[in-house]
Amino acid sequence: MKPVTDLSLYVHFPFCVHRCAYCDFNAFAAARVPRKAYAAALLREFELRLADLDATSARVRTIYFGGGTPSLWGPRGIGEFLDAIATRVLFDTTAEITVEVNPGTLERGSLRGFATAGVNRVSMGVQSFDAQRLRALDRVHGSDEALAAARQLARLIASGALRSASIDLIHGGFDQTVEDFHRDVDRFLSLDLPHLSAYGLTVEAGTPLHARVARAEAPIPDEATQAEILRELPEWLTPAGIARYEVSNHARAGHESHHNRAYWHGAPYLAIGAGAHGFLTRDLARTRTDDIGIRYGNLRSVPSYLAAIERGRLPEEFRERIDARTHAMERILTGLRTVEGVDLDSLARACGAEARVRVLERADRRMRLHADVVLVQDRLFVRPESFVFLDAIIRDLV
Ligand SMILES: C[S@@+](CC[C@H](N)C(=O)[O-])C[C@H]1O[C@@H](n2cnc3c(N)ncnc32)[C@H](O)[C@@H]1O
Ligand code: SF4
């Protein structure tokens, strides 16, 4: 009998009620969201993908509805979609099912509705609890709405309706000081939620924020402030029993995101929806080469995506082979961002013994010159206090 392959599923919902000035995700502001047509296309893509791969022994372990704003799909739409895919693929009964939620677009009762529909984890884009900062970030919600929605998440966890929940905060933009952000984190702590994702504001090319910064109408995010926040954040969270497990992610034990962990460990994931990117290992993708697997990216524009599905085609913009060297680089890149680091034994098993030798050679130089990378029991990791130099370390090691 073939061994069972654990599979993650990412579902992209590319609609928002309004496009935030800083965002460069594949998301489109839509006055009317074509929920039904898009849901039908997603299901059709899911069927096309199952026909394209060897999924007989795959079991879905995590599902992540990301966006855009998938909460605009509504509990009923997401519930029906979950029911439909459960009839088409083997489903782990303990699967982690996450939906991203924007606190400014929630109808009354919809958080509980998502839980009833089968979602067991919510990731809420709060960004800040400060009214002025939310305006600067161009969000559709105010701080009261964000607080009320986050409090409701905490109640749903306490009652057992949800297994876990996270909020996203953005730091270091619009002259925000370390103390300003500390106040946001204190608000988060007062809610007693088990997971926090904290991102330094990045000014992405092509966004309205980028244009504003170029015209000197908005300040460039201060790197020194972001670095100090990165250094201090774990200390603020530790008394609440929340620990960093990846450079931007912090959780109480047992509340780490299984879905994101699957990405970071190089596990296969199927992705559907406009602009979604998937990675399938050789066994699933039925490739007959020595490669590790394939990566694909879907068409980003919704009309092109829908048109491809209509013609019965996989809506792909590109598909590329992932050889052992590329896969090793990706594992090192994501692994070094985690607190547990890169498991060299598992790296060698997946990518060959040369992958271990290559990274150790490079790490050795870094260890001698900077002492910010450590090797303990066949795990290579970045010292937590050196996470501020992560980009330079990764550039050196891959
Ligand atoms: C795709 S959004 C999902 C949440 C939902 N769409 C919302 O915004 O409420 C994922 C997260 O990425 C972060 N993010 C997006 N653009 C960013 C940027 N330019 N800099 C820093 N963080 C960013 C935000 O924290 C956001 O919540
Ligand atoms: S709501 Fe989220 S996905 Fe949509 S534009 Fe804003 S940050 Fe981007």
**Low pLDDT (below 50) residues in the chain:** none
Q: Which of the 8 DSSP states describes residue 106?
A: P
Within-domain flag for 335: yes
Q: Are residues 382 and 249 in the same domain?
A: no
Q: Are residues 349 and 236 in the same domain?
A: no
Domain encompassing residue 235: 5-262
d(CA 293, CA 285): 7
Q: Are residues 91 and 234 in the same domain?
A: yes
Q: State whether the beta carbon of 67 lies less than 6 angstroms from ligand 2.
A: yes
Q: Are residues 106 and 207 in the same domain?
A: yes
Q: Are residues 335 and 242 in the same domain?
A: no
Radius of gyration of the chain (CA): 21
Q: Are residues 224 and 333 in the same domain?
A: no
Span 13-26, pLDDT tens digits: 999 999 999 999 99
Residue-level pLDDT at 4 = 78
Ligand 1, atom 25, residue with closest C-alpha: 168
Q: Are residues 137 and 9 in the same domain?
A: yes
Q: State whether the beta carbon of 5 lies less than 6 angstroms from ligand 2.
A: no
Ligand nearest to the CA of 125: 1
Ligand 2, atom 5, residue with closest C-alpha: 19
Within-domain flag for 10: yes
CATH number of the structural domain spanning residue 256? 3.20.20.70
Question: 10 Å Cβ neighbour count for 150?
Answer: 21
Q: State whether the beta carbon of 69 lies less than 6 angstroms from ligand 1.
A: yes
Within-domain flag for 358: yes
Q: Are residues 351 and 225 in the same domain?
A: no
Q: How far is the CA of 253 from the centre of ligand 1 (A)?
A: 24
Span 215-263, pLDDT tens digits: 999 999 999 999 999 999 999 999 999 999 999 999 999 999 999 999 9
Residue-level pLDDT at 1 = 63
Q: What percent of the chain has pLDDT over 90?
A: 88
Ligand nearest to the CA of 139: 2
Q: How far is the CA of 172 from the centre of ligand 1 (A)?
A: 14
Q: State whether the beta carbon of 185 lies less than 6 angstroms from ligand 2.
A: no
Picking from 262, 281, 316, the residue at the C-terminal end of a domain is 262
Q: Are residues 40 and 182 in the same domain?
A: yes
Q: Transcribe 122-165 into DSSP letters.
A: EEEEEE-S-HHHHHHTT-SS-HHHHHHHHHHHHHHHHTTS-SEE
Within-domain flag for 307: no
> Across the chain, what does the average pLDDT equal?
94
Residue-level pLDDT at 285 = 83
Ligand nearest to the CA of 169: 1
Within-domain flag for 252: yes
Residue-level pLDDT at 52 = 86
Indicate the number of domains in the chain: 2
Q: State whether the beta carbon of 195 lies less than 6 angstroms from ligand 2.
A: no
Within-domain flag for 276: no
Ligand 2, atom 3, residue with closest C-alpha: 68
